[in-house]
Amino acid sequence: MTDPTLPTYRLDDGIAVITLDDGKANVFSTPALEALEAILDQVEADAARALVIVGRPGRFSAGFNLAEMTESVEGMRALVARGARWWLRLYGLGIPTVAAGTGHALAGGAITLLSCDVRFGADIPCKIGLNEVSIGMPLPIFAVELARERLTKASFTRSTMGAQVYDPAGAAKAGYLDEVVPEADLLDTALAEARRLGELRTGAYARTKQNARAAIIASCLESLDHDMSSVGAPTP
């Protein structure tokens, strides 16, 4: 029996759609990441032209599953490393990727936005940002480098070391979002952009993305195990 809390996948006329809806905060747990890994395998097997990631109304993702993160240091490190590998795979995926930010996107939710090529956000009251430092956790190297690549230079320090959290308009200025749209239009806007980008020559798109991002992905993967070895529980 399929777990209804896990991410789901559908193919809509050549456009892959991943929906995050666990009925709560759309957290990244080991089962969720296993499902997401399998979904990206299926996206590639289906030769999808583009990918859209959408959350549930009001919630995009609040990041890692807190219960799993606090079970043990070893488990936390394994979970974060697994998430890192999935985000870096998404960041380098050889087709256009579009995020439909349906609401709150904190920590891993914000990293998901940073990992997608184009990011739309719903014009609703919500919080978006990398809030790890505010809860006593250092940002891992892969998250810092994704932020460095995608956020504006002016917002980078306050968004990482300063743990600044933004509303949608502020998130667009900082670089988490490309455009804020009415909530009712969000998914249609994301799908329309995915279809537009999906009409481009996929080989050229994939090669250009590789040229732009392969070095940073390789560097983050190379440093991941060492970086995880120093990650501990949140500290004041």
* Structure confidence by residue, pLDDT tens digits, 169-200: 999 999 999 999 999 999 999 999 999 999 99
Per-residue model confidence as pLDDT tens digits over 10-21 = 999 999 999 999
Residue 133 lies in a domain: yes
Per-residue model confidence as pLDDT tens digits over 28-41 = 999 999 999 999 99
pLDDT score recorded for residue 190: 98
pLDDT score recorded for residue 236: 53
CB-based contacts of 177: which residues, under 8 Å, 6+ apart? 101, 113, 119, 120, 121, 128, 168, 171
Residue 217 lies in a domain: no
Per-residue model confidence as pLDDT tens digits over 202-234 = 899 999 999 999 999 999 999 999 999 987 666
Mean pLDDT rounded to a whole number for the chain:
96
Indicate yes or no: pTM above 0.95: yes
Residue 49 lies in a domain: yes
CA distances in angstroms from 39 to 16, 36, 51, 132, listed in the order given? 9, 5, 11, 27
CATH code at 12? 3.90.226.10
Residue 225 lies in a domain: no
Range of the domain at 37: 8-184
Res. 61: pLDDT tops 60? yes
Residue 88 lies in a domain: yes
Structurally, the chain folds into a number of domains equal to 1
Residue 172 lies in a domain: yes
Q: State the burial class of residue 141 (Cβ atoms within 10 Å of its Cβ: 0-12, 13-18, 19+).
A: middle
CB-based contacts of 34: which residues, under 8 Å, 6+ apart? none
Residue 232 lies in a domain: no
Res. 70: pLDDT tops 80? yes
Residue 46 lies in a domain: yes
